[in-house]
């Protein structure tokens, strides 16, 4: 009788679903016996060449469309960032890729290396971007591109296709993902990979069924995207809060909705306040840049900006970061005593651009800039025309040369300004003279612009 009971218990236990520990143990055993020693591909993909180690102690179980999957974060021997071409978003390979092991419909274990690459349009729980599913050694299995409108298209690695007809190549749309590695504390492009989608129509030597990409074991595209939380971390616990339209919890550092952000004018001198009021208006491109970056409605998750006046020494103004989400622009309190309204506005625009560039340059999780930058050089190369147009719009009587000269204020030390192929000696002298005359209030015979009383 005792033997019968023991056998009955064993039989019943075999029909029970595996526990989390047993699932992970089974997945690890299969991986280490059947997968880990697959030969590396010699395909010149830098990502494929990295040494990687599954972090089994951090493995979790996720429900997917055909059952349960073991999701394992990966540690790489080199810190790599992935960025879609023409996109501002840098993604850490380590945070956005993982090992996924599950059983297909035939109860056969499948091992997949999943790389999830969100783009800048990803908001909340809606994933927008590219997902590549590969064997552990990098051999492509399938991939998907998720659009901002909720559409999804299968994609395939450009390296896996040999084109037979020019017409086929023209029917493709391709996405290039650049690889960045740190060089002297800043990321530099060290490689790339390209994924395409389009109509194959049998026009390839190695035809791929785009519905399943030659693999996948019956999984669904969303089985791969939902493992990334709204803060773009694999197995992360951050959640999207609809009330404040913000990602909170997990690694965000937020436990609740952050306070609403604002653009505040704390200046008191009428002449400076007039300039700040004009500068904040969205009737110019610079004003629009301010309003989409700072305040309650913006593209960067909630940033504060405050205008004050104070003693800035010989500088016309300052822009300083105050904490993680706040910037303070200080306008020299003495400007109205010597400078025209046009000059004061050009100073305010200059400092707004500092705040905008400082806030929008890509940074890593520690706040370090991901790209070497020089804000003054960027202004000289990209924003002179915008500043010139903004000054002209608000002061129509300002001549084109004067507006252009004022836009150059504060940028005289940039390489662009001192490049003889960009600006002539005569133009540099004109810029100096324009700014001198707009900062010469007390000489009625040798000044330009309009002035406050």
Do 279 and 207 share a domain, yes or no?
Answer: no
Asked which of 194-198, 341-345, 367-371 is least confident by mean pLDDT, the reply is 367-371
Q: Where are the alpha helices (DSSP H) in 79-213?
A: 93-96, 166-170
The span from the CA of 50 to the CA of 93, in Å, is 11
What confidence tier does 101 reach under pLDDT thresholds 50, 70, 90? Answer: very high
Specify whether 350 is located in the same domain as 433: yes
Q: Given a cut of 70, is residue 248 above it in pLDDT?
A: yes
Q: Tell whether 267 and 223 lie within a shared domain.
A: no
Domain that holds residue 400: 263-437
Claim to verify: residue 293 and residue 375 sit in the same structural domain: yes
- Rounded Cα–Cα distance for residues 368 and 364 (Å): 6
Tokens of 399: 């001549």
- My answer on whether 372 and 318 are in the same domain is yes
Model pLDDT for residues 169-193, shown as the tens digit of each residue: 434 578 888 888 876 666 788 888 8
* Residue 390 located in a structural domain: yes
44 pLDDT band (50/70/90 cuts)?
confident
Report whether 413 contacts 384 (CB < 8 A).
no
Pairwise CA distance, residues 9 & 16, whole Å: 11
- Residues 423, 295 share a domain: yes
Domain count, the chain: 2
- In this structure, the answer to whether residues 297 and 198 fall within a common structural domain is no
Q: How confident is residue 217, by pLDDT bands cut at 50, 70 and 90?
A: low
HSE-CB at 286 with a 13 A cutoff on CA atoms is 31
Q: Are residues 130 and 186 in the same domain?
A: yes
Return the pLDDT at 165: 33
- Report the DSSP beta bridge partners of residue 134: 113, 140
Closest CA to 351 of 428, 271, 275, 436: 275
Cα(97)–Cα(88) distance, integer angstroms: 19
Domain match, 339 and 281 both: yes
pLDDT at 210 over 50: no
On whether residue 257 sits in a domain, the answer given is no
Q: Which of 60-69, 80-89, 298-307 has the lowest mean pLDDT?
A: 298-307
In a domain, 296, yes or no: yes
Residues 23, 27, 32, CA angle at the centre, nearest 5°? 150
User: What proportion of the chain, given as a percentage, has pLDDT over 70?
Assistant: 81
Q: Does some domain include residue 5?
A: no
In a domain, 322, yes or no: yes
The CA–CA distances, whole Å, from 209 to 141, 166, 202, 212, 391 equal 11, 20, 10, 6, 57
Distance of alpha carbon 220 from alpha carbon 334, whole angstroms: 65
Residue 4 lies in a domain: no
* Within a domain: 185: yes
Q: Indicate the residue among 183, 201, 227 that finishes a domain.
A: 227
pLDDT of residue 301 exceeding 60: no
In angstroms, how far is CA 55 from the centroid of its own chain? Answer: 26
Q: Residue 311: inside a domain, yes or no?
A: yes
Residue 96 has pLDDT above 90, yes or no: no
Q: Are residues 425 and 331 in the same domain?
A: yes
Query: In this predicted structure, what is the pLDDT of residue 218?
Result: 59
Read off the pLDDT of residues 109-119 as tens digits, 9 standing for 90 and up.
Answer: 999 999 988 88
Judge whether residue 428 has pLDDT over 60: yes
Same domain, 215 and 343: no
Angle at 31 between CA 27 and CA 33, to 5 degrees: 120
Average pLDDT, the chain: 82
115 close to 132: Cβ distance less than 8 angstroms: yes
Residue with tokens 């010699």, as numbered in its chain: 42
Contacts of 1 (CB under 8 A, 6+ apart): none
Both 407 and 278 in a single domain?
A: yes
Helix axis angle for 384-394 and 400-407, nearest 10°, is: 130
């Amino acid at each position: 009788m005792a033997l019968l009971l023991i056998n009955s218990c064993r039989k019943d236990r075999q029909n029970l679903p595996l526990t989390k520990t047993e699932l992970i143990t089974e997945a690890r055993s299969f991986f280490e016996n059947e997968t880990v020693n697959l030969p590396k591909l010699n395909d010149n993909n830098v990502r494929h060449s990295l040494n990687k180690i599954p972090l089994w102690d951090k493995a979790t179980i996720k429900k997917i469309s055909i059952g349960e999957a073991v999701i394992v974060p990966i540690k790489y021997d080199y810190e790599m960032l992935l960025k879609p071409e023409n996109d501002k978003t840098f993604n850490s390979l380590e945070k956005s890729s993982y090992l996924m092991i599950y059983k297909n419909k035939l109860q056969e274990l499948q091992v997949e290396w999943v790389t999830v690459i969100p783009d800048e349009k990803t908001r909340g729980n809606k994933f927008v971007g590219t997902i590549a599913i590969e064997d552990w050694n990098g051999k492509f299995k399938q991939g998907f591109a998720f659009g901002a409108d909720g559409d999804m298209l299968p994609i395939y690695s450009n390296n896996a296709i040999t084109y037979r007809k020019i017409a086929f190549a023209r029917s493709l749309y391709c996405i290039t993902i650049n690889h960045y590695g740190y060089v002297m504390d800043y990321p530099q492009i060290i490689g790339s990979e390209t994924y395409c989608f389009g109509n194959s129509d049998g026009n390839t030597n190695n035809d791929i069924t785009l519905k399943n990409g030659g693999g996948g074991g019956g999984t669904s595209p969303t089985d791969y995207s939902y493992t990334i939380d709204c803060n773009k971390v694999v197995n992360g616990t951050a959640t999207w809060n609809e009330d404040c339209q913000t990602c909170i919890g997990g690694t965000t550092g937020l436990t609740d909705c952050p306070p609403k952000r604002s653009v505040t004018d704390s200046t008191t001198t009428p002449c400076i306040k007039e300039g700040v009021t004009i500068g904040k208006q969205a009737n110019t491109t610079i004003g629009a840049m301010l309003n989409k970056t700072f305040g309650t409605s913006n593209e960067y998750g909630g940033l504060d900006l405050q205008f004050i006046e104070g003693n800035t020494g010989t500088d016309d103004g300052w822009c300083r970061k105050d904490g993680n989400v706040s910037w303070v622009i200080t306008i020299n309190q003495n400007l109205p005593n010597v400078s025209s309204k046009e000059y004061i506005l050009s100073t305010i625009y200059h400092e707004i651009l500092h705040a905008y560039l400082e806030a929008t340059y890509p940074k890593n999780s520690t706040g370090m800039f991901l790209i070497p930058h020089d804000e003054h050089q960027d202004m000289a190369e990209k924003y002179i025309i915008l500043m010139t147009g903004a000054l002209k719009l608000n002061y129509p009587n300002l001549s084109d040369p004067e507006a252009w000269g004022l836009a150059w204020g504060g940028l005289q030390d940039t390489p662009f300004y001192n490049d003889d192929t960009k600006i002539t000696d005569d133009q540099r002298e004109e810029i100096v003279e324009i700014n001198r005359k707009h900062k010469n209030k007390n000489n009625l015979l040798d000044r330009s612009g309009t002035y406050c009383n």
